[in-house]
Amino acid sequence: MRKPCIAANWKMYKTMGETEAFLKAFIPAVSSVGDVDIVVAPPFTSLYTASQLLKGTNIKLSAQNVYYEAEGAYTGEVSTKMILDIGCTHVIIGHSERRQYFGETDEILNKKAKAAKAAGLSVIFCIGESLEERNTGKTFDIIKREIEGGLKDIDSDNLVIAYEPIWAIGTGITATPEQAQEAHAYVRDMLRNLYANKADEIRILYGGSIKPENIKEIMSKPDVDGGLVGGASLKADSFEKIVKFNK
């Protein structure tokens, strides 16, 4: 059985003070949750604040991005060693916003995922098609390309996949549970090609307009093993309800 994983991606939201206020409310609210892995991904500038507050709790810390070189003259970048040092156990790689706005290609993302895995970080690797790609019947081609390119020569240990259809991100349009399951089943098949039986241990999260009202239905699908939550993870009570979807 795959343990559900619910992760908050705060994107470019929350100062240190806002991070502290959120976590001071959220940590006690979910301290008794043992059947779900909880991950929070604040922006880089809030990681230290979060890491201090999360010590000894059941909540894991993730970065939203990382660079693949170990160190050097790469102005503005942050290494795997730095995010480990600050207390991260996870890193999100390949979010569609990184692909779209920052030109990250499958090749770059593959290098990032390799560096992160080599450093011992759990990688939340994001994939997903645009509306145009879906409407022109290319969904599975895109998923295939992103998995084959992004996960080339990467083993399955500590690997989490997040299927986030771009048309569902921040739009209020959630994929139906059936659409999510269809894509996740396709991802699972691809993972079987790459990792054989180990594919059944890999969590595939769904992301895109998850809310307290729709998480339970999405989670009821057999290949949906969790969620990567943007907007609805920014308020402690809303994210608490999502984490407690099965209560």
Could you say which residues in the range 67-96 bind ligand 13P, by CB under 6 A? 95
116 in contact with ligand 13P (CB under 6 A)? no
228 in contact with ligand 13P (CB under 6 A)? yes
Candidate segments 18-26, 81-89, 194-202, 204-212, binder of ligand 13P by CB under 6 A: 204-212
Ramachandran region, residue 94 (left: φ > 0; alpha: ψ -120 to 50; beta: rest): left
Say if residues 183 and 223 touch (Cβ distance below 8 Å): no
Q: How far is the CB of 71 from ligand 13P (least distance, A)?
A: 28
Residues binding ligand 13P: number (CB under 6 A) = 14
Candidate segments 51-59, 150-158, 191-199, 201-209, binder of ligand 13P by CB under 6 A: 201-209
Helical residues (DSSP H) of 119-221, grouped into ranges: 131-135, 139-150, 177-195, 215-219
111/247 Cα distance (integer angstroms): 39
Q: How far is the CB of 206 from ligand 13P (least distance, A)?
A: 9
Residue 31's CB: how many other CB atoms inside 10 A? 11
State the catalytic residue, choosing from 97, 104, 129, 164: 164
209 in contact with ligand 13P (CB under 6 A)? yes
| Among the listed residues 211, 215, 193, the one whose alpha carbon sits nearest the alpha carbon of residue 202 | 193
Catalytic status, residue 184: no
Q: How far is the CB of 128 from ligand 13P (least distance, A)?
A: 9
70/92 Cα distance (integer angstroms): 18
Cα torsion through 35, 232, 213, 97, rounded to 10: -100
Using CB under 6 A, pick the residue from 4, 9, 134, 195 that binds ligand 13P. 9
| Among the listed residues 202, 189, 115, 116, the one whose alpha carbon sits nearest the alpha carbon of residue 148 | 189
Could you say which residues in the range 121-160 bind ligand 13P, by CB under 6 A? none
Q: Which helix (H) or strand (E) segment is 109 a member of?
A: helix 106-118
Using CB under 6 A, pick the residue from 40, 108, 159, 229 that binds ligand 13P. 229
Catalytic status, residue 95: yes
Active site amino acids: 95, 164
Give me the residues that bind ligand 13P (CB under 6 A), please: 9, 95, 164, 169-170, 207-210, 228-232
